[in-house]
A and B are shown apart, each in its own frame.
Chain A
Amino acid sequence: MDIVKKIGFVLLGLFIVLNWGLLMAGIMRKIIARVSMRRGIKIFQPYINLIKNYSIRSQLTHGIMFYLGPVFRLSGGVGIFLFMPMIYGSDIWNNFSFTGDLILIAYFMFFGMLGMALGAGEGGHPYSAIGISRGLAQFTAIELPLTLAILSIAIQYQSLSITEIVAAQQGSILNWTLFTNPLATGAAMISFLGAMGHSPFNVVMAPQENPVGPPTEYHGTFLGVLQTNRAILHVVEAVLYMNLFFGGANNWIELIVKTFFIYFWSVFVGMVFPRFRVDQSIPWLLKLPVLIGVAAIIVFIV
């Protein structure tokens, strides 16, 4: 395929994802507000925020890494998008994923996190560092169930290629990993809660300590970049779970519907459960979800 055409479709996909991400964020916040008996923001408020931030003229920076942080962050988000096959069976929408490598995506997530952490770090704000340290600590615990789940489905499908994993789930809804491997799905979905940064795992996002979300130190274009990334990343992560556990998507509609529900799962749990402290969340994550993950593997060994 012509590389220009490819890049064109990639950019188009990116645009779709960005929009769906912004929209979904608005919808979710609306839902949250309604559930808590508030009126809430406008659905399109994320768009407004984004445009507003990009148009602010003053740009303050603490140094080179502060500057590069958002670039890393956005690279992380876009990179995952690039390496992710979006629509099953479509050459056009599988981006640069070739056949979609699960490990690559799993580890590339760190790229953005690292950039963000470094950028916030150079800001010199101690709370940023506190937030990062908590976030990272909790992240280690979040990763473990996910790792077990990934191992479990890798055993199940004897593949680490996302495309192949999706292919294996085609045909019937019962072929979804959700049904063929509910334990792995369970572990992964708990881990997803943490990845999305909602309650009960969102202490790292506490108002003053928000390095993973758009932080207070950043503003203007920087913040705009971060918000862009956030929108993209949430969708792409949901797509990842969709591909792994919920049969993938054969078209954009299916993708939007599935990602909505996947994302909604985290919002739903966040509404229901209160927040953990980090030193509570880590042991919790290392107990039940890990046990589920272990069980998911044992099922396949035995």
Chain B
Amino acid sequence: MVSPISSIAVLLGSAFLVGLFKKTSYSFAQMLSLLAIAFPLFVSAQWLIHFIGTSDGAVMLYTAGAKPPFSVSLQIGMAEAFLTLAVNLLGLLSIIYLMKPFKELGVKALALLLILVMGLNVIILSRDIFNIFVFLEIASIALVGLILLGKRKHTYSAGFKYLIAVAIISSFLLVGIAFVYYFGSTLNIDDFVAQNLIVTKGLSTALFLLFIAVLLELKPFPANGWALDLYEAAHPGVGALISGGTATASLYVLYKILPMGADYWSDVLIWVGLISFLGSNILGISQKNANRLLGYSSIGQIGLLVAVIGFSDQLGSHFEAIFFSLFISHFLAKVGLFWLSGWVGKTELTAWSILRTKPWLLLVFGIFLFTLIGFPPFPSFFGKWQLIVDLASEHGFNWIVIILAGSLFEGIYLFRWLGYAIKGEKSTENKPLLDWQTALPIGLFALLIIGAGYVSNQWMPNGQSINLIPVFFILALFVLDFLPAWIKNTISIAGLVVYGYLLYPELSDDTLRLVFAVIFLGGGILTLIAGYSVKGKRAGFFPFALMMFAGLIGLVEADNLLQFFFAWELMTLGSYVLIIRGKRSMLHAYNYMLFSLGGAYLIFMGMAMATAGQSGISLEILRTTAFPGWTYALMAIGFLTKTAALGFHIWLPGAHAEAESDVSPMVSGILLKGGVFGLIVLFLAMGGEQAQANPLVYVLGWLGAITALIGNLIAVFQEDAKKLLAYSSIGNLGYVLFALAFMSNIGWMTAITYSLNHFLFKTLLFLAIGGVVLRVKTHNMHEMGGLIKQMPLSFIAVLIGIITLAGIPPLSGYAGKWLFYNAVIAQGWYFQGAIVFFAGTIAFLYCFKLIYAVFLGQPKDKFRQVKEAPVWYIIPQIILIIGIMVFSARPDLILKPVGELLSGSAYFPTDPLNWESVTASTNLGYWSGYKIMLVIGVMFMVLLGWLLLMSRKAQKIKQFDIVYAGETPFTPGTTHFSHNMFAPLYRAIGFLTLPMITQSWNRVNSTVHDFADSARKIYSGNGQSYLVQILAYVVIVYLILF
């Protein structure tokens, strides 16, 4: 095997050699540099493979023919091999990426890069603190030179600020090293540790200086203005080197010297790291400059990694896997983002919409951002998961809160950015060329992320329990994205069908899960059928749709918390992209994501608390959690954000209404059940008795009731058909929540009936209205009218849908109402029940508005030529109508087994529904869907026949043949009464619909932004202030410590 020392020698030698080349032979110099940097890459790779293949320990490399501590020694182990591999790869790709700027600056610049990489290699390998100091200086100085690449404004002052900051930090470092040598008599880390010195006042101060200097190299918040300025001023390719290269090396130094310090240094690292993570991410919120934002984010991520190093004792054997996944995420994603930023060229975040000209770059951008935040299947997801679970087992809940809060703040700006890229205003300028020098590194890093995700997954404890087949299927869809939409659609549907077929045996006993599996998979298939109406490629739709469905079905399959959370996040990711595809959905998708993210973190927190002090992560442990109150409350609130309970609902209307026509039913009819299922899983895990005794459910009940009322009431006042349906979803999910909160057998029957019904009718309604919107190109109901003649099938679908929605017998909506009354009375929640029923009658209002304003009334001139909705929209509607009919006539087919499951299990054994063939009964009454259907059906037919008989010669008259107070109306527009239809009701109780919640969230939002905006004023731009901050940081940390 080739010694890593030879890589250092090769790099250094070629750096000296490259400096000699003349301008004319630049390309030769460039070639040489590439080769020179490829060599260490090869060496590191070789060592890494060696260490992975064998279980050998680290190898010591001696210099000068003497053993340490007398000479400088290097060490290569798995970690060093991996980190040098990363650094060398970064160096190699940087040369490629920066080819043009390098050429402008000449051979000297190439030498700088070679030396930088060499320096980083030595920093990682070296076991001698002074040696590390020297090469840290080398790396810093090389960077100061490299920032001259692709000169931008203010490079010099930024470079100067960086220089003076580095100089003062290294002064502390050197003083620290000097005294460490004085007290420890050695410069070798291992030797120092082996001596086990008694920590005296002098030694501890010396170590303090050493540690604080290394920490300051990592740019901890708030002593990091100099670094931010550098990030802003430097070419993004150089930013990548700083963020990915020097930070990597410094982090490893921190890890190496950690055993030298006393125990409390772990805590200091944790504090410093987490403060950086939180502070930097908060201040990033108001940042508009992409490079600077990347700087904030880098500092935040590195802070997290510092904290992870501080946690290394607590994480034990998991440390390596956790650090790997978090590190590699930061490294690949941040570097990739910097490179992307270089291609975009402009610094404003809004300019990133230019990415849309190259869709694959947009995808890569998404991968990078999702990696940073920690979404599956990217590596950081697994890292964060395990980190937090392990912290929880040590009861480090405060840490978890900080980490999750920081991640949330990070999400705030990253997703805003992603929104700009996907949906921001298109810039009018010419698109920049994409040459291979840019494309290759970026693409490679994106691929590496996926590979790293796989490694993290396999490495992490329990990671292998995750079913990766759907993920691979989705990846395959990404690869096949060049195919026309209908082929991909067929593949997707086939995938869902096959998956469902394979899954069925597993779930056939568990009816409860089966119901949701049917909703998720069946709904997926139905809504995808509608997608056949889309022509062209529909790039990027199917992978994300499938991702959402994979996540949903993953929830059903999940046996342990990791699987569940993995699926949950996968679902969120997929649905976010689906939602943001809508025309005006930038803001709405953003809101959706923030609420989802917040919710997910609450769930995460709850799960983590549940794992504390328990072995394993199976869902069962939720029952035996040591912190029942917190666990359940946090998880419940998390799920409530997904079901859009009042207070967390503001994302829903926009997200559902502005989504594409066939996406709305997916996200409304199907996706919302994910949250419901989450609650079910939670409550099941809590167990019946514990759940009933929990005051939480009482609160949930009230919340559900009020959500139902307000959701429905707001829906009544909507003019936008899809918004109306969206608010109606909020209301309906309120019912479900309310019913779940009963924690009784019949209550749950109600909830499941409602969920199933809502799936059926809301999917149906959204498909039907979506079809209409597709034809008339507007969401505003008052612009439609009289469409029954053009779209009779859609009309029938909507009619069936609203009858079900309103709970009018004989359709299945009534089943829910009946169960409801029984549950309410059995439970004694009369007032909440009354509110819910009031909400039910209000629902009737918007049902009428929906069908009347769209299909009835006066047809408008401009829509006379409109055709029926596409047949691909009609087919799933027909299937859904059949579904509703079957469920209405034979509810026992589904509810009976579910009821048996509920009463058979330990959860709700009391007061089940009694079934006698098709008739259900309780102590209060009975209900037979079949008989009601029969009676009403026969009666309706008889009466219809009778009327047909009586008025068989009915004569069709013209549109305006109406009695109109002596006048003849002549424009349909003024004769169609549908705008502001329920004005009297609004005057009476409209105050309930004032957007108070939206306003308070807005206030929260602006407070956070204002805070971030004023807090980041500490980065005054004055290099001297930065020095003062560094100094103050040192002094304050010292005073806190001693």
0/1 string, B588-605, CB within 8 A of A gives 1: 000000000000000000
Contact A282 B988 (CB under 8 A): yes
CB distance from B806 to the nearest CB of A (A): 6
A9 at the interface (CB under 8 A from B): no
| A window 126-149: CB within 8 A of B | 126-127, 129-130, 132-134, 136-141, 143-144, 147-148
User: Which of A54, A148, A225 sits near B834, CB closer than 8 Å?
Assistant: A148
Contact A140 B844 (CB under 8 A): yes
Chain A residues within 8 Å of B950, by CB: 54, 221, 224-225
The residue of chain B having its C-beta at the shortest distance from the C-beta of A102 within the complex is B925
Residue of A132, A152, A160 with most chain B CB atoms under a 10 A cut-off? A160
Contact B786 A124 (CB under 8 A): yes
Q: Is the interface of A mostly helix, strand, loop or mixed?
A: helix
0/1 string, A101-128, CB within 8 A of B gives 1: 1111001101101100110011111110
Measured in the bound complex, the distance between the Cα atoms of B340 and A83 in whole Å is: 69
Measured in the bound complex, the distance between the Cα atoms of B833 and A118 in whole Å is: 29
Chain A residues within 8 Å of B855, by CB: 65
CB distance from B386 to the nearest CB of A (A): 50
B475 at the interface (CB under 8 A from A): no
0/1 string, B963-987, CB within 8 A of A gives 1: 1110001000001111001111101
0/1 string, A55-73, CB within 8 A of B gives 1: 0011111111101101110
Please report the number of residue pairs spanning A and B whose Cβ atoms sit closer than 8 angstroms: 247
Measured in the bound complex, the distance between the Cα atoms of B842 and A110 in whole Å is: 12
Chain B residues within 8 Å of A125, by CB: 962-964
Chain B residues within 8 Å of A122, by CB: 788, 856-857
Chain B residues within 8 Å of A110, by CB: 806-808, 844
Contact A277 B984 (CB under 8 A): yes
The residue of chain A having its C-beta at the shortest distance from the C-beta of B944 within the complex is A71
The residue of chain B having its C-beta at the shortest distance from the C-beta of A160 within the complex is B925
Measured in the bound complex, the distance between the Cα atoms of B944 and A159 in whole Å is: 35
Given A108-B809, A161-B925: A65 touches B856 (CB 8 Å cut-off): yes
User: Which of B799, B831, B838, B842 sits near A297, CB closer than 8 Å?
Assistant: B831
CB distance from A119 to the nearest CB of B (A): 9
Contact B976 A126 (CB under 8 A): yes
Chain A residues within 8 Å of B685, by CB: none
Contact B845 A136 (CB under 8 A): yes
The residue of chain B having its C-beta at the shortest distance from the C-beta of A131 within the complex is B977
Interface stretch (choices A18-26, A74-82, A253-261): A74-82
Measured in the bound complex, the distance between the Cα atoms of B792 and A208 in whole Å is: 29
Measured in the bound complex, the distance between the Cα atoms of B835 and A147 in whole Å is: 9
Given A79-B939, A216-B963: A140 touches B955 (CB 8 Å cut-off): no
Contact A82 B939 (CB under 8 A): yes
Given A104-B818, A118-B856, A129-B981: A61 touches B988 (CB 8 Å cut-off): no
Chain B residues within 8 Å of A159, by CB: 923-925
Contact A140 B842 (CB under 8 A): yes
Contact B844 A136 (CB under 8 A): yes
CB distance from A123 to the nearest CB of B (A): 6
Contact A65 B788 (CB under 8 A): yes
Contact A75 B844 (CB under 8 A): no
Contact B834 A151 (CB under 8 A): yes
Contact B924 A143 (CB under 8 A): no
Measured in the bound complex, the distance between the Cα atoms of B954 and A126 in whole Å is: 22
B872 at the interface (CB under 8 A from A): no
Chain A residues within 8 Å of B1040, by CB: none
The residue of chain B having its C-beta at the shortest distance from the C-beta of A114 within the complex is B808
| B window 892-931: CB within 8 A of A | 923-928, 931
Chain A residues within 8 Å of B792, by CB: 64
Contact A160 B788 (CB under 8 A): no
A294 at the interface (CB under 8 A from B): yes
B21 at the interface (CB under 8 A from A): no
CB distance from B832 to the nearest CB of A (A): 11
Measured in the bound complex, the distance between the Cα atoms of B841 and A148 in whole Å is: 13
CB distance from B928 to the nearest CB of A (A): 8
Given A59-B954, A71-B944: A103 touches B984 (CB 8 Å cut-off): no
User: Which of A60, A68, A78, A160 sits near B961, CB closer than 8 Å?
Assistant: A60
Chain B residues within 8 Å of A277, by CB: 984
A286 at the interface (CB under 8 A from B): yes
Measured in the bound complex, the distance between the Cα atoms of B985 and A140 in whole Å is: 9
Contact B845 A130 (CB under 8 A): no
Chain B residues within 8 Å of A133, by CB: 845, 848-849, 977, 981-982, 984
Given A122-B856, A147-B837, A216-B963: A75 touches B943 (CB 8 Å cut-off): yes
Given A124-B959, A125-B964, A144-B841: A137 touches B982 (CB 8 Å cut-off): yes
Chain B: interface size category: 35 or more
Chain B residues within 8 Å of A269, by CB: none
B824 at the interface (CB under 8 A from A): yes
The residue of chain A having its C-beta at the shortest distance from the C-beta of B851 within the complex is A118
The residue of chain B having its C-beta at the shortest distance from the C-beta of A110 within the complex is B808
User: Which of A75, A83, A107, A144 sits near B940, CB closer than 8 Å?
Assistant: A75
Measured in the bound complex, the distance between the Cα atoms of B1024 and A224 in whole Å is: 93
Given A60-B957, A98-B931, A118-B856: A140 touches B924 (CB 8 Å cut-off): no
B346 at the interface (CB under 8 A from A): no
Measured in the bound complex, the distance between the Cα atoms of B962 and A61 in whole Å is: 11
The residue of chain A having its C-beta at the shortest distance from the C-beta of B952 within the complex is A59
Chain A residues within 8 Å of B939, by CB: 75, 78-79, 82
Contact B943 A78 (CB under 8 A): yes
Contact B924 A132 (CB under 8 A): no
Measured in the bound complex, the distance between the Cα atoms of B940 and A127 in whole Å is: 28
Contact B963 A71 (CB under 8 A): no
Contact A103 B955 (CB under 8 A): no
Chain A residues within 8 Å of B981, by CB: 129, 133
B932 at the interface (CB under 8 A from A): yes
CB distance from A1 to the nearest CB of B (A): 15
Contact A108 B808 (CB under 8 A): yes
Given A147-B838, A154-B821: A60 touches B955 (CB 8 Å cut-off): yes
CB distance from A300 to the nearest CB of B (A): 8
Given A101-B926, A151-B825, A154-B825: 7 more A-B contacts, CB < 8 Å: A71-B944, A75-B936, A101-B925, A114-B847, A118-B799, A155-B830, A161-B926
5 contacts between A and B (CB under 8 A): A65-B795, A96-B931, A114-B848, A129-B857, A133-B982
Residues of A within 8 A of B (CB): 54, 57-65, 67-68, 70-72, 74-75, 78-79, 82-83, 96, 98-99, 101-104, 107-108, 110-111, 113-114, 117-118, 121-127, 129-130, 132-134, 136-141, 143-144, 147-148, 151-152, 154-155, 158-161, 208, 216-217, 220-222, 224-225, 277-279, 282-283, 286, 293-294, 297, 301
For the complex of A and B, list the 10 residue pairs with the smallest distance between their C-beta atoms, beginning with the closest. Answer: A121-B856, A282-B988, A160-B925, A278-B984, A126-B977, A137-B985, A59-B954, A279-B984, A129-B977, A279-B987
